[in-house]
Chains A and B, each alone.
Chain A
Amino acid sequence: MSAVNARLGSVVPPRPRHWWRWIVALVLAAVVVAVFLALPVAWNRLGDLPGEIVHYLWLMFSSPDWSKLPEALWQTWRSVAMAWIGTVLSIIVATPLGILAARGVGPRWLQIVLRVVFGVVRAVPEIIIAIIILSVTGLTPLTGALAIGVSGVGTLGKWGYEAVETVPGGAVEAVRASGGRLTDEIRWALWPAVAPAFLSFWLYRFEISVRASAVLGLIGVGGIGDMLTSYTQYREWATVGVLVLVVVVVTMALDALSGAVRRRIMEGSPIRDLAGQ
């Protein structure tokens, strides 16, 4: 080894010195400390926090009030229905818009307009969208569905044009070469290539919508969020425990179901055993 070193001179490069990393780390640490000092939080009370949280968890889950279960399930169903309608609405609107916003499909000005619209909609939280439209639609579940629909157009539109832009140009060129117009290109070249991804996006967006619909209840459009806020305000923790359990179970079940379908769509059917034939 030393012989090799001697022959090549100093082969061992100097250890890289990442002094700028230390500067970045120090600046970050300073910012975080400043933020913690600036926040109006009584940090000395933090020690009691774990005890308090355990206390409230005990109140919530030691003897849940199961008599509220039927109503909780009914309100959850209303939330899920809100999420479903909203997702369907956003699919209907976002699918054509998303395809048109892709590079090479729609006109350039339309691409820019649509992308800005998608971006703005994605940046505004659902609950603010709901606050804006409730002056027209009132405090009804329809408001929740519409808010989810509008918000879904932002996400589905973005995912849509990104997926369309990954399609290789060959199929589109082939359709164009055989005399197809834009509608033919979309129908015979783009749609078959992106359909699985789109279906998967729709299901994923539904999962997001289910969570959003629970949150929208907070402003009073109905559903499980509405019920949860009222019982939290009455401090009926035994009922709140039941509601939290229902939210967790329903959300996880829907996620699992939609996740299984998404995997089946994206990865295809399990390989069949042909040896038996």
Chain B
Amino acid sequence: MTVAPPPRPRTWPRTLAVWAVVAVITAIAASPLIGIDLGAGFGAIGKNWQNGVTKLVELFQLDWRILPRTLPPLLQTIEMAVAGTAVSALLAIPLSLWSARLTNPWAPARGIVRFVLNIVRAIPDLLYAAILVAMVGVGALPGILALILLDVAIIVKLVAEAIDAGSDGALEAGRAAGGTQFQINRTLALPDMWPAFTSQTLYVLELNVRVSAVLGLVGAGGLGLLIDEVRTFFHYDQLAVIILELLAVIVILELGSSWLRRRLT
């Protein structure tokens, strides 16, 4: 007895359609009339490249004299990152419990928190900073506020997902024992949430150092102010020192936080 193999599934029409859509969008996006004029872009490269390449070469001729000047802003960047992380971690504890299904059975309240945080997440960090600088003035404060907005949205989303992914046995036991939702959340859900919460907070701290280093480009304090100054004068030899410094800080922070995360979980 022979069994006929099933026919090969015909996937090529769909694959072709997907690639066609991608190609059409790319063509529209790259067309000079209605997209981003790539022709003009390449024209600019043609005009600039000789000057530009000498600038890029400067990147590798590090000018270490700027190093002492970079340390205070770098410290401020780290301070902003820590301050932003601390405030948003505190705000995120109740909000996470509020927006997870297991710890807040009332759907409308959950929906409101999630909807607001989705809106908050839709605006990029530097745009917040640009608007907040115009609102509350130049300095570290608008930067910290921008970081808090960004961080709360991230921590709450990820921690709430972690809470919902956990098991609800203990919470049910608490309910059976007659606990109010607040008592259940405080004594049962909160200890369960710690590992996810700490690991997301560490992640946000790393992210904050990266972000707060550039927030100064719009006037929100920290290393970005110096980056902005250096770039206006095209001092790429100094820019390279700042970038290296930032890389070093980020690598140290990542090593530290991954060590901590291993210890905690």
Interface residues of A (CB under 8 A from B): 31-32, 35-36, 38-42, 49, 52-53, 56, 77-78, 80-82, 84-85, 88, 120, 123-125, 127-128, 131-132, 135-138, 140-145, 211-212, 214-215, 218-219, 222, 225, 228-229, 232-233, 235, 240, 244, 247-248, 251-252, 255
Contact = CB atoms under 8 A, between A and B. Distances in A.
A131 B48 CA distance: 14
Given A32-B82, A136-B45, A53 B135 contact: yes
Contacts of B237: none
If over half of B's interface residues share one DSSP class (helix, strand or loop), that class is named, otherwise mixed; here it is helix
Given A35-B83, A41-B139, A218-B218, A141 B123 contact: no
B51 to A, nearest CB: 7
30 contacts: A32-B86, A35-B79, A39-B79, A49-B136, A53-B135, A80-B29, A120-B247, A124-B246, A125-B210, A128-B214, A128-B243, A131-B227, A131-B239, A132-B236, A136-B52, A137-B48, A142-B36, A215-B124, A215-B125, A225-B127, A228-B131, A232-B131, A235-B134, A240-B131, A244-B123, A247-B123, A247-B127, A248-B119, A252-B118, A255-B122
B49 interface: yes
Contacts of A244: 123, 127, 131
B247 A124 contact: yes
A125 B42 CA distance: 24
Interface residues of B, number: 66
B45 A84 contact: no
Contacts of A132: 56, 59, 236, 239
A38 B29 contact: no
A273 B35 CA distance: 43
Given A36-B83, A138-B47, A218-B127, 18 more contacts: A32-B83, A40-B139, A81-B28, A81-B36, A88-B26, A125-B211, A131-B227, A135-B55, A135-B234, A135-B236, A136-B49, A137-B52, A138-B41, A140-B41, A142-B45, A145-B41, A232-B131, A252-B119
